[in-house]
Structure 1
Amino acid sequence: MANLRVYLVDDHPLMRMALRRILESDERFVVVGEADTAEECLTAVAALTTDLVVMDIQLPGIDGVEATRRLKSQDADLKVVILSAYGEEYLIPSIDTGADGYMMKGLEPKAMIEELLQAAEGTPPIDSNLTRLLMDRAAAGPRENSGPTLSDRQHQVLRHVSDGLSSKEIASVLSISNTTLKRDFRHIFEVLGVNDRAHAIAEAYRRELI
């Protein structure tokens, strides 16, 4: 993997410093800039070549959720990971705006690096709380029993995602290559009409596929 160009957004200088140190300790990351407001980030990222934005959820002015929505509208391929000190309150809004991941502050550096790498590849693990919240929301609406649109293995992939397994773990459990797993995800997303794992789980539950 080529170096990932990362932009940091947090209104606490010490937090930005800690994030920078964690990322710069790994040669796979290059920090291309940082900001303490969403407004500054939106302007800077538009002028920079950036692969991934690590976005604090609570910011002065425009918050991280709205900033993520705007970044995604500017560049759908840009990966954005929400960083939060809060629990479930912001999970659903973050994912609904297109965030590619949701990390809690205080995560161990090694785990943080792994989650950012997976988010950059479009395969972040799904937090168990997020799975529960999405299923609760899907359950509140009408459930639809769809026909067999996915293979047995693709059903297994969905179940493992809902259990919080990473791509590496799913590939290992199913004894398939990462390339095959990515192909399965593309098919799953296409069939379910979604763009990410979190909404795939919710839609699969609504269709009674899991």
Structure 2
Amino acid sequence: MSAPTSRVRVLVADDHPLFREAIVRTIRERPDFELVGEASDGRAALEAIRELQPDVAVIDVKMPELDGLQVVSAVRRDELGTRILLLSAYLDSAIVFQAVGAGAAAYLSKEADRAQIADAIAAVARGETVLSPEAQAGIAAEVRSRQVEDRPLLTPRELEVLGHVAAGRGAPEIARLIHLSPATVKGHLQSLYEKLGVSDRAAAVAEAMRRGLLE
């Protein structure tokens, strides 16, 4: 006869008593879970994690004292073994991105039903990462946004003009070399200034080199 599987030790932290109690009931109904503690604010949650060392902590993102992201960061910094499942009433893409980067093992909406939350706890305890569809979409949107911010999409012509600017050429000379009117070259210059967030030629070259657009 095989030995019984150890239960997943779970801590719940939420400053809304009714919601916290709903999660507590969900955990108590699962024979493979063991509720080891509750907390009503982030600081108490972090102290309980340090003291009780649960396998999984289910934590509200918005709480007094410390928010969920700060708890996640502290758990990672202190190399505690607890894996964090964050719950939020709303899914802001930047917060989801930050939470996963900080080390959160799961991010779910508070609109998830009790079975989904319980399944996520079990998955997190197995070492998996669980993100609701909305959280996945938020992360994808944030990644795309940050890529655009980090590497502005200069057109081939703007890159060509930028190369001539880096070589010290003025608009009239650039226009003659690439067979465009000076006004058109100036239009390309203004466009690339806006994309790089600068206002003059020297700053454009410096910023382009910083971002790897010029060698």
Would you say same fold, with TM above 0.5? yes
Corresponding position of 2:8: 4
What is the CA–CA distance in structure 2 between the aligned matches of 1:98 and 1:137, rounded to whole Å? 21
Q: 2:114 aligns with which of 109, 115, 118?
A: 109
Deviations 1:132-176 (A, max 9, x none): 23541563345xxxxxxxxxxxxxxxxxxxxxxxxxxxxxxxxxx
**Contact map agreement 1:88 1:129 (CA 8 A) in 2:** no
Runs of 4+ in 1 over 4 A off after TM superposition: none
Normalization by structure 2: what TM-score?
0.61
Matched, 1:47 2:51: yes
User: Structure 1, unaligned stretches of length 5 or more?
Assistant: 143-210
**Residue 80 (structure 1) aligned to one of 77, 81, 84:** 84
Partner of 1:32: 36
Unaligned runs of 5+ in 2: 152-215
Equivalent positions of 1:52-131 (< 5 A) are 52-89=56-93, 90-126=95-131, 127=133, 128-131=136-139
Give the RMSD, CA atoms, in angstroms: 2.0
CA distance in 1, matches of 2:80, 2:6: 20
- 1:108 Cα shift? 1.3
Task: Output the TM-score relative to the length of structure 1.
Answer: 0.62
Per-residue deviation, 1:115: 1.4
How many residue pairs align between the two structures?
143
Q: 1: CA distance between counterparts of 2:77 and 2:42?
A: 14
Higher-Rg structure is 2
Deviations 1:114-145 (A, max 9, x none): 11211222223443314423541563345xxx
Aligned partners of 1:21 and 1:5: how far apart in 2?
14
